[in-house]
Amino acid sequence: MAVITMREALNQALSEEMERDGRVILMGEEVAEYQGAYKVSSGLLQKFGAKRVLDTPISESGFAGLGVGAAMQGLRPVVEFMTWSFSMVAYDQIVNNAGAIRYMSGGQYSIPIVFRGSSGAGLQVGATHSHTPENWYANVPAMTVITPAFPDDAKGLLKSAIRSNNPVCFIENEKLYGFKGEVPEGDVLTTIGQARICREGSQVTLIANSASTHVALASAEQLAADGISAEVVDLRTIKPLDIPTILASVVKTSRVVIVEENKPFAGWGAQVAYEIQHRAFDSLDAPIERVTGLDVPQPYARVLEQAVMPSAERVTEAAKKTLG
C-alpha cells in the first residue's frame, strides 16, 4: 500500500471524483493557478481545466452561496475555504441556505455540496485563524460534519462526502497535511458516520477527532509506560456520531476522557459526554473528563498557545484522574 501525505490523499480523492463525475467542480481562493494554498488541489487545474477548477475572489459569502445555488441546480460543488476560520463570513450561506433550503422547500431540493478546507490552532496564527468549528456546524440539523485524522480516512471520507446528496462540512486540520500514512489504491470509500478504534485498550477510553486523535495516541503511549491500557476512539465523523462504537468502548473500559481542540462551551465533547451518561450511566466508574482548548481567544506567543492547546500531558493527567 502506498504511503502518502494527507494532502496527497485529499488530492487523489478530488481528482478521482472529478474524473468520475462531470458535475463535480472545485472552487475557492487560490485553488487553481496557485495550486492551492496548502497544495491540496495541486495539478487539478491542469487536469480538469478552468471550467471546473475555479479561482474565486476573496469573497467567501459570495462563492459559498454561489456553490449552494449551483448545487440547487444539479452541480456537485466542492467549495474550499482556505481555512475554516474564514467560513464565518459565509455563515449565513452555509447555515440558512445549504442547511435549510431542502427543509424549507418541503424536500424539493437536494444540496449536494462539500465545504472543505484547513482548520485548527497550534501554528501561532492568532485568534482569527485558529478555529476548529466542527461544533458550530454540527449544530445545523441537516449538516454532515467530517474531521479526518489519517490520510486513508481523508481520502475515503472525502470521496464519500462528494457522493453524498447532502451538504457536508469536511474539516481538515492544517497540522495534519504533511502527516503520512498508508492509503489503499483506487476507488475505496470510507463510510461516513463510523468511528475507528485506532488503539485498543482496556482501562480508559480516549475519544478524539482530527489532530486531537494524535494527541490522544501520544497520551496512550505515556499511559502505557505507566502500565495503563488506554483505548483510542477516533470519531472521524462528528455528525452523525457513531454512538454504538463509543458505547462499546465505554462498556469495556468504564472510564472516558474526551479530547477536542475546540473551545469547551458546547463543544462536541459535551454532546458525547451527554450521550454516554444518558445511555451507559451504569457502565461509568468515574466522571467523564474533557480536555479541550482553553476558553480564551487563541494567543500568538508559542508558550501561551501551547498552554491553550490540548496536550498529551493534559490527557494523561485526566486519564489518571478517572482511574483515581
Partner 1 sequence: MASSGAKKVRSKEKPGNSPAMLPTLTPSERVDLLRKMVLIRRFEQKAAQAFMQAKIRGFCHLYIGQEAVAVGSISTLHPTDAVITAYRDHGHALARGMSSRECMAELFGKITGCSRGKGGSMHFFSKEKHFHGGHGIVGGQTPLAAGIAFAQKYNGTGEVTVCYLGDGAVNQGAFHEALNLAALWKLPVIYVIENNEYSMGTHQSRSSAGYPLVKRADGYDMAGITANGNDVDDVREKMWDAVQLARTESLPSLVEIKTYRYRGHSMSDPGNYRTKEEIAERKKESEPISMFKERLYKEKVLTEKEYEEIERQAVAEAEDAIAFAEASAEPEVATVFEDIHAPEDQIAEFRPPIGS
**Which positions touch partner 1 (CB under 8 A)?**
25, 51, 54, 56-57, 59, 61-75, 77, 89, 92-93, 96-97, 101-112, 141-142, 160, 163-166, 189, 191-194, 240, 243
> Is 214 marked active-site?
no
* Helices 151-163/6-20 angle, 10° precision: 30
Do residues 198 and 231 make contact, with C-beta atoms less than 8 angstroms apart? no
Query: Shortest gap between Cβ of 159 and partner 1 (angstroms)?
Result: 9
Cell digits for 69?
445555488
Query: Shortest gap between Cβ of 78 and partner 1 (angstroms)?
Result: 13
Name which of 74 and 297 has its Cβ closer to partner 1.
Answer: 74
User: Which ranges in the chain belong to alpha helices (H)?
Assistant: 6-20, 44-48, 60-72, 91-92, 101-104, 134-138, 151-163, 210-225, 243-253, 268-279, 302-308, 312-322
What is the distance of C-alpha 173 from the center of its chain? 7
- Report the alpha-carbon distance of residue 73 to residue 311 in Å, rounded: 45
Per DSSP, the three-state class of 145 is strand
> Is 278 marked active-site?
no
Name which of 33 and 324 has its Cβ closer to partner 1.
Answer: 33
Name which of 38 and 268 has its Cβ closer to partner 1.
Answer: 268
Query: Shortest gap between Cβ of 223 and partner 1 (angstroms)?
Result: 31
| 60, 80, 231, 260: the active-site residue | 60
- Report the alpha-carbon distance of residue 233 to residue 213 in Å, rounded: 8
Cell digits for 93?
450561506
CA distances from residue 258 to 107, 214, 262, 267 in whole angstroms, order as listed: 36, 13, 12, 11
Query: Shortest gap between Cβ of 119 and partner 1 (angstroms)?
Result: 22
Query: Shortest gap between Cβ of 246 and partner 1 (angstroms)?
Result: 12
- Torsion angles phi and psi, residue 245, rounded to 5: -65, -40
Name which of 46 and 191 has its Cβ closer to partner 1.
Answer: 191
Query: Shortest gap between Cβ of 127 and partner 1 (angstroms)?
Result: 22
CA distances from residue 205 to 102, 243, 247, 255, 286 in whole angstroms, order as listed: 38, 14, 10, 6, 12
| 129, 134, 174, 214: the active-site residue | 129
Element (H, E) at 27: strand 24-28
Name which of 54 and 125 has its Cβ closer to partner 1.
Answer: 54
CA-nearest of 211, 198, 254, 255 to 6 is 211
Name which of 6 and 64 has its Cβ closer to partner 1.
Answer: 64
Query: Shortest gap between Cβ of 184 and partner 1 (angstroms)?
Result: 17
CA-nearest of 145, 196, 135 to 170 is 145
ω into 57 cis (within 30 of 0): no
Q: Active-site residues: which are they?
A: 60, 129
